[in-house]
Chain A
Amino acid sequence: MNSATWYGLVGALLVGIGLYGLIVQPHALRKILAFNVLGSGVFVLAGVVARRGAAVGLPGDPVLQGLVITGLIVAFSATALAVALVLRLAASAGTVSLEAGRAAPEAPDATGAEQDARASGGT
């Protein structure tokens, strides 16, 4: 077993863990984290493919490196957008569960206002 195979297996494991978490976790933040684990797995696999396909003298195939970099930017923006939605949801509903019927509109309570303040302070 060479290092590329090891990295490949690790990437596959991360993809599996991430996909499992994305499907079964009810909490929105955990789903977002699971998506990031899944994305990391894909990037590791892309790195393995880049290493295996590299020309002599190159550490990796630049096309796949470009692909991973763009993927990282997209995953970063997606996470930011998702977290922003979670913060707004927490502020207005007091819950961030994605189970159906949990987001019944309630009067904004102390925690909601507090989170709102934190959200606006943080950005």
Chain B
Amino acid sequence: MTAGIGTPGGHWLVLALMVPVAGLLLAFVAGGRHAERIALAALPVGAIATVAVALQLIETRAALVYSLGNWAPPLGIVLRADGLSAVMMVTTLVVLIAVALFARADFATPAGVREARAPFAFWTLLLAVWAALLVVFLASDLFTLYVALELVAFAAVPLVSLDGRAETLQAALRYLLYALAGSVLYLLGAALIYGGYGTLDLTLLAARIRPEPVAIVAAALMTVGLLAKTALFPLHLWLPPAHAGAPAAASALLSGLVIKGSFFLAVRLWFDAMPAVMTPAAAQLLAALGAAAIFVGSTVALQQARLKLMIAYSTVAQIGYLFLMFPLIIGMPQALAAGALTGGMLQAISHATAKAAMFMAAGLIYAALGHDRVADLRGVARALPMTVAAFALGGISLIGLPPSGGFLAKWMLLSASLASAQWWWAVVLAVGGLLTAGYVFLVLARSLTSTEAPIELRAPVARSREAVVLALAMVSALIGLAAFAPLDPIQIGRPESFNASFNEPGRMQ
């Protein structure tokens, strides 16, 4: 064996990445109705690889590294999974499995047809979103991450316009233009970083970067680019029409997973690659935008007449929560920052599961009633009890009631903001929770109102689909129990340990 910088078990990273990519290529070759079977077969195989990565991380308590072709950075590129990557991989997998089971009814190829456009597009794009997100979670250099960002956007944009209506085409085009502007700004930042420091590898960059003009300009460009892709206020305008107009299964992917890709990259840049450049003032600005997103998004969500648009504006608000952790980490003592990071990532995970479940629940309600007007939801709880229960559980997680993941996330952010004497973020968290409760209860109150006779459903809803949505919502509502876990997986392989492993003499070839 040659002395690479890879760790034992690093090959699982390659396998995890290969499964969706191979599935995607196979689906293109096989075409037609095989795309669905390939996607459904790839998910369990991918689950094995993902679980293997997670177990390996828990066992070794250190990041998994695989150097491609056994070349060490800066010449080669590496795949690297730390606790952050692993929890996002697992979350992605859980949401994808639920969405795939849910989507089988909506995107089945009709009998007697070799290939139907929307089903073929959906199942290949599902694999594409999966592959692209895995690259985002596992890549460890700025340029691979740029390519990954583009892959995520190219997989996500067609999902918006699966049904080909004019409004959704317009929403997809607007989304694409935002995404392109974001990634080109990111690329400009990456080129400047390379010009200044001669490396694109995140680990080497963290050791070399200094707070000087080139690094600050590059960090600003990359951050703004990523915010446009994540749809943080005021760059959120593309999100509601795109996420609300897509079919329910696609909305669940877009709102639950896709926006987490660019958010994850922002986390990597701020905390792993360039912590030396990021100032507390910049972090306060980011969180202030997050607070504005929470207020604007929640207030507009309260005024929405249509359920899917309400959920989409709720996503705008919940993205704001993700950015509240930044001032609680930058420039803070290690113990406090670790708690805030875990809280922020828990918010991402619980939002991914809760929002995917809520979009799918809204899709079932739409399919059953033929509309999703919030004002006319009377009697739905009686007709679709499991669906409304799933919506409620997702809502509980968004509001932050125990034992949901949202509760634990907001609790950790709240304690971090009080411990660091930034009480204003605690106020934002509290008021945001109230506003969230407002729109969730608005829907629940309407749908729980009884009618004299049971309402007539336009189309029957399969129990199995309701059960899938409920199961995903249950996951979100129970993530808070992770507080009792013996270790915090998110903290495995954080930069301190991996800097040490890279800088050891003799590990480079």
Interface residues of A (CB under 8 A from B): 15, 19, 22, 28, 31-32, 35, 38-39, 42, 45-46, 49, 52-53, 63-64, 67, 70-71, 74-75, 77-78, 81-82, 85-86, 88-89, 92-93, 98, 102-106
Contacts and interface: CB of A to CB of B under 8 A. Distances in A.
A28 B173 contact: yes
Interface string B141-175: 00100110010011001100100111101101110
Contacts of B184: 35, 38-39, 42, 75
Contacts of A81: 154, 157-158, 176
Interface residues of B, number: 33
Contact of A64 (B158, B170, B188, B191): B191
A67 B198 contact: no
Contact of B190 (A32, A52, A67, A102): A67
Contacts of B498: none
A104 B191 contact: no
Given A35-B177, A35-B184, A67 B169 contact: no
Nearest to B161: A85
Smallest CB-CB A-B distances: 9 pairs = A49-B195, A93-B166, A103-B170, A46-B191, A89-B169, A92-B166, A85-B173, A103-B166, A42-B188
Given A52-B195, A93-B169, A102-B170, 11 more contacts: A35-B181, A49-B195, A53-B198, A64-B191, A64-B195, A67-B194, A78-B154, A85-B169, A88-B169, A98-B177, A103-B170
Mostly helix, strand, loop or mixed at chain B's interface? helix
B461 interface: no
Contacts of A31: 177
Given A28-B173, A42-B187, A42-B188, A63 B164 contact: no
Interface in B176-192: 176-177, 180-181, 183-184, 187-188, 190-192
A78 B180 contact: yes
A49 B192 contact: yes
A93 B170 contact: yes
A94 B181 CA distance: 26
A38 B165 CA distance: 30
A69 to B, nearest CB: 11
B150 A78 contact: yes
Contacts of A75: 184
Nearest to B157: A81
Contacts of A15: 188
Contact of A53 (B169, B174, B195): B195
A52 B196 CA distance: 10
A75 B57 CA distance: 37
Contacts, number: 99
B337 to A, nearest CB: 32
Interface of B: 143, 146-147, 150, 153-154, 157-158, 161, 164-167, 169-170, 172-174, 176-177, 180-181, 183-184, 187-188, 190-192, 194-195, 198, 200
Contacts of A67: 143, 187, 190-191, 194
Given A70-B143, A74-B147, A81-B157, A35 B180 contact: yes
A39 B183 CA distance: 10
A105 B198 CA distance: 51
A21 B190 CA distance: 23
B166 A70 contact: no
A35 B194 CA distance: 23
A5 to B, nearest CB: 13
B194 A89 contact: no
Nearest to B188: A42
A63 B194 contact: yes
A108 B444 CA distance: 40
B177 A64 contact: no
B181 A19 contact: yes
A39 B167 CA distance: 27
A22 B188 contact: no
Contacts of A82: 173, 176-177, 180
A93 B433 CA distance: 40
Contacts of B200: 63
Given A35-B180, A81-B176, A89 B170 contact: yes
Contacts of B188: 15, 42, 45
Nearest to B167: A103
Given A31-B177, A39-B184, A93-B166, A77 B154 contact: yes
A104 B146 CA distance: 35
A92 B177 contact: no
A25 to B, nearest CB: 10
Contacts of A42: 184, 187-188, 191
Given A42-B187, A78-B154, A85-B161, A103 B169 contact: yes
A39 to B, nearest CB: 5
B176 A78 contact: yes
Contacts of B190: 67
Contact of A92 (B157, B164, B173, B198): B164
Nearest to A11: B188
